[in-house]
Structure 1
Amino acid sequence: MIFLKNYMSEVGTLMEHRLSSYTANRANNFNLIRFVAAFMVLFNHSFALSIGSEDADPLKGILGMTFGSIAVDIFFITSGFLITGSLLTRNNLIAFIWARVLRIYPALIVAIIFCTFIVGLYFTTLSIYSYLSSPEIYKFFLRNISLFLGVDYSLPGVFENIPYKRIVNGSLWTLPWEIRMYSILGLLWGILFYAKCFSNKFFNHVLVAIAVLAIISHILNHFLLVVDNNAQGLRLLAMFFVGAAFYVLKDKIILSNRVVALMSLILVFSMLEQHLFFVFYNIFIAYIVFYVAYIPSGTIRKFNRVGDYSYGMYIYAFPVQQSIAAIIQGVSVVTMLIVSLSITLILAILSWHLVEKKLLKIKHKYVVFENLLSNIRLTKPSRRT
């Protein structure tokens, strides 16, 4: 009887730690995780932009990857999870698109104005007239606020005499990929809807299949280099859809202290061989991210009261750091880190409170956006399961 009682108690505990038991409310650490990831990108770039080498990150020689690359993986894993949840909760493609537009574009447009007409205008070696009359700045502006055709990195006469030359905002490279992931997810939902074969179960199977194939392809490509030019895209596809798969499998995934401890131990020992670490890292990273997102509680949750400054940090850090490199010739890594973090954090706080937070309050007004799209309503019928 004692054995049975203990067994039932352990089963009950496992049920309580299913991922699905945490997703119904906003009690999580995603804001903190994304903030730390944004700091990791800034930390990584502090080496690259003060020294001029992408390989200057201290993790590169140890793990074969950088703090920045790990941070981007975290961003895409959490994005895949949360964006899939957003789509399946709304069950409306127009509402989904509207929410994504509000989250990405307004703050981005302000950041690109900052890069083009403040940073660029101050640091260009051209005259004000020559700079403002150059078609390059308008190409830079328009392409970077749309993202659909990729991004532009340079402005005429800007940052030509610093270690990492002519790149104004190198962090933007991930945003077109983010938009592509949203588009793939939304198109899959829309195609299945219009084909009248939509069911939650079938859609879930599709997402899991993409995640499995993508992560296997990403790991194999690391060793075989079948895909070279688009290896980054394959990696981001894998991370995003692994996050999506975790959401649709949330009823089956149990967050366990023992599992995370075992994964951490394996990762520590696999650091002795970079290729082995790469394999285990890609298999374990998503589980560890969601464990950290939901299990630690208490004081750590107070960070949510601060706000979500991660996006602002991400889109402002690079131009701020390049500006510092231009102003302080031969700037040290430590000085770059401290000064750029201080300035970037201020800009991120302003971005969140003056732009991002305000516009997120009108997410429910997607009907206006819906009417602009010829009144095409893409809402999943309630009779389907």
Structure 2
Amino acid sequence: MRLSACIASRDNNLNLFRIVAALAVLFGHSFALLAQPEPWGVLTGMTPGSVAVDVFFIVSGMLVTASLMSRQSVIDYVCARVLRIFPALTVMLLLTVFVLGPCFTSLSLYDYFSTAKTWQYLLKCGSLLFGMAYKLPGVFAHNPYPDAVNGSLWTMPNEIKMYLLLLVFWCGLAFSQKKRLQILKYLLPALTLLAGVLVFVRHFYLHDDSQFTRLLFMFFSGASLFVLKEKLVLARLFFYPLLALVLLAAFIDKSVFFTIYTLAIAYLVVCFAYLPAGWIRRYNALGDYSYGVYIYAFPVQQAIAALFPGIAVWSMVLVSAFVTMSLAIFSWHRIEKPALALKSATVMRLQAYLPRLLPRRTPGYSAVVACTHCGAATSCACRS
């Protein structure tokens, strides 16, 4: 089965895969935030959270590229990204600054709200354009992992950069609209190859594992999966032996694991998303709670660590997972999904007032692509 045969289907494991990745971040942070060594990280040199972030960027690269290349509208693309990220992020930050912060700060409320760092945190984390802030005055100062309020947000500016870089490539090829899609089929894999080489050079020779370079490689690996979908074969014959090889490498040597994992992760991700079938795919209908889990887990875990000094790791995992999932479910149904439902009307209004920047379709190119959030191949409330 080729990827092109299943990528437009709503019958997939994308929502399940993303929630597992988000919970893996929560699991990994449960050790770090209690100053405990994480077993998988000790064994392989990569924590579950690091693997999960790679998964997020691969899936994002594939689906965001699919969205841009199928609709071929800059306005549509930008609106989809903004509505997916910022409404839920803004609500989370307001709760963090105005509820969680005052409850856990060691300062008086006057000092907390009169300190410039409080408002810098809100501005920087809310815009994702001026760097990130991780500290609120006096909040979690005595935790085992002190001061950091939401360390998970470090990936968000990098994700925005990937979106913008993809958009730059798209707009930069406006001079050759008829050949744009064909050029991207070569350009995106070439960029992925270059980024992959840099990842290995930095890791083995410079001993500098650049986060941006790694995420660039992962994101454009996902983008390359989409543009090569007609040639990419998904087969259990390849999938299970490759998965077994990666797991075996974890017990052999960290360098061997890094090499095999880096080369194999994109293919494993897309196989996980589309090969397992049956009852497992029922989860897909529930919704995409992964973003909510990702943005809420860290502050929830820090609050638990502050409230229950000396809490055991597994207790942290269970309690924080319950609280975080509750917030994520609320976020999806009350904030994220309603915000995404505004996309069509927002795009229409912008197109009425702004000149269309690029044509929406290239003749002969199929526009059927799965929704980036619920997997639907047809219209849906979260269409992006």
Q: TM-score, normalised by structure 1?
A: 0.91
Larger gyration radius, structure 1 or structure 2: 1
Q: Paired residues, what number?
A: 363
Q: CA deviation at 1:94?
A: 1.1
| 1:278-326: CA deviation from partner (whole Å, max 9, x where unpaired) | 1110111111111110111111111012111000000000000000011
Q: TM-score, normalised by structure 2?
A: 0.91
Query: Is 1:214–1:237's contact at 8 Å kept on the other side of the alignment?
Result: yes
Match for 2:21 among 21, 37, 44?
37
Structure 2 counterpart of 1:185, one-letter code: L
Query: Is 2:293–2:325's contact at 8 Å kept on the other side of the alignment?
Result: yes
Question: Hey, what's the Cα distance between the residues in 2 that align with 1:100 and 1:371?
Answer: 20
Question: Hey, what's the Cα distance between the residues in 1 that align with 2:105 and 2:298?
Answer: 17
Distance 1:68 1:351, change over 3 A: same
Query: Within 5 Å, which residues of 2 pair with 1:266-281?
Result: 266-271=245-250, 272-281=252-261
Question: Hey, what's the Cα distance between the residues in 2 that align with 1:234 and 1:123?
Answer: 36
Query: Is 1:198–1:384's contact at 8 Å kept on the other side of the alignment?
Result: no
Higher relative contact order (CA 8 A, sep 6+): 2
Instruction: Tell me the residue number matched to 2:6.
Output: 22
Question: Hey, what's the Cα distance between the residues in 2 that align with 1:137 and 1:211?
Answer: 39
Question: Hey, what's the Cα distance between the residues in 2 that align with 1:281 and 1:380?
Answer: 37
Instruction: Tell me the residue number matched to 1:6.
Output: none
Q: CA deviation at 1:265?
A: 3.0
Question: Hey, what's the Cα distance between the residues in 1 that align with 2:203 and 2:59?
Answer: 23
Range with greater deviation from structure 2 (213-222 or 85-94) = 213-222
Question: Hey, what's the Cα distance between the residues in 1 that align with 2:50 and 2:297?
Answer: 16
Q: CA deviation at 1:213?
A: 1.1
Query: Within 5 Å, which residues of 2 pair with 1:244-255?
Result: 244-255=223-234
Question: Hey, what's the Cα distance between the residues in 1 that align with 2:323 and 2:247?
Answer: 35
In the alignment, is residue 330 of structure 1 matched against residue 295 of structure 2? no
| 1:98-152: CA deviation from partner (whole Å, max 9, x where unpaired) | 0000000000000111111111111011111111122211110011111012210
Q: CA deviation at 1:382?
A: 3.6
CA RMSD of superposed structures (Å): 1.6
Question: Hey, what's the Cα distance between the residues in 1 that align with 2:106 and 2:351?
Answer: 45
Query: Is 2:70–2:361's contact at 8 Å kept on the other side of the alignment?
Result: no
Query: Is 1:215–1:242's contact at 8 Å kept on the other side of the alignment?
Result: no
Question: Hey, what's the Cα distance between the residues in 1 that align with 2:109 and 2:5?
Answer: 58
In the alignment, is residue 286 of structure 1 matched against residue 266 of structure 2? yes
Structure 2 counterpart of 1:144, one-letter code: C
Question: Hey, what's the Cα distance between the residues in 2 that align with 1:265 and 1:359?
Answer: 41
Question: Hey, what's the Cα distance between the residues in 1 that align with 2:200 and 2:62?
Answer: 21
Where in structure 1 are there 5+ consecutive unaligned residues?
1-16
Query: Is 1:316–1:344's contact at 8 Å kept on the other side of the alignment?
Result: yes
Question: Hey, what's the Cα distance between the residues in 1 that align with 2:99 and 2:189?
Answer: 45
Instruction: Tell me the residue number matched to 2:368.
Output: none
Range with greater deviation from structure 2 (276-285 or 189-198) = 189-198
Structure 1 counterpart of 2:266, one-letter code: A
Instruction: Tell me the residue number matched to 1:66.
Output: 47
Q: CA deviation at 1:371?
A: 5.3
Query: Is 1:158–1:166's contact at 8 Å kept on the other side of the alignment?
Result: yes
Distance 1:240 1:122, change over 3 A: same
Range with greater deviation from structure 2 (195-204 or 133-142) = 195-204
Match for 2:193 among 200, 203, 212?
212
Question: Hey, what's the Cα distance between the residues in 1 that align with 2:194 and 2:261?
Answer: 17
**Percent identity (aligned):** 44
| 1:148-189: CA deviation from partner (whole Å, max 9, x where unpaired) | 122100001111011111100000000000000000001100
Q: Helix, strand or coil for the counterpart of 2:173?
A: helix
Instruction: Tell me the residue number matched to 2:276.
Output: 296
| 1:216-246: CA deviation from partner (whole Å, max 9, x where unpaired) | 21122110127x3x70000000000000000
Query: Is 1:50–1:325's contact at 8 Å kept on the other side of the alignment?
Result: yes
Where in structure 2 are there 5+ consecutive unaligned residues?
366-384
Instruction: Tell me the residue number matched to 2:104.
Output: 123
Q: CA deviation at 1:196?
A: 5.2
Instruction: Tell me the residue number matched to 2:92.
Output: 111
Q: CA deviation at 1:368?
A: 2.4
In the alignment, is residue 359 of structure 1 matched against residue 343 of structure 2? no
Question: Hey, what's the Cα distance between the residues in 2 that align with 1:357 and 1:106?
Answer: 10
Question: Hey, what's the Cα distance between the residues in 1 that align with 2:115 and 2:358?
Answer: 42
Match for 1:317 among 273, 289, 297?
297
Question: Hey, what's the Cα distance between the residues in 2 that align with 1:368 and 1:183?
Answer: 22
Question: Hey, what's the Cα distance between the residues in 2 that align with 1:48 and 1:265?
Answer: 27
Q: CA deviation at 1:39?
A: 0.4
Q: CA deviation at 1:381?
A: 6.0
Structure 2 counterpart of 1:244, one-letter code: A
Range with greater deviation from structure 2 (299-308 or 309-318) = 299-308
Question: Hey, what's the Cα distance between the residues in 2 that align with 1:62 and 1:253?
Answer: 32
Query: Is 2:178–2:362's contact at 8 Å kept on the other side of the alignment?
Result: no
Question: Hey, what's the Cα distance between the residues in 2 that align with 1:207 and 1:159?
Answer: 43
Match for 1:82 among 63, 81, 92?
63
Distance 1:113 1:289, change over 3 A: same
Distance 1:207 1:124, change over 3 A: same
Q: Helix, strand or coil for the counterpart of 2:33?
A: helix
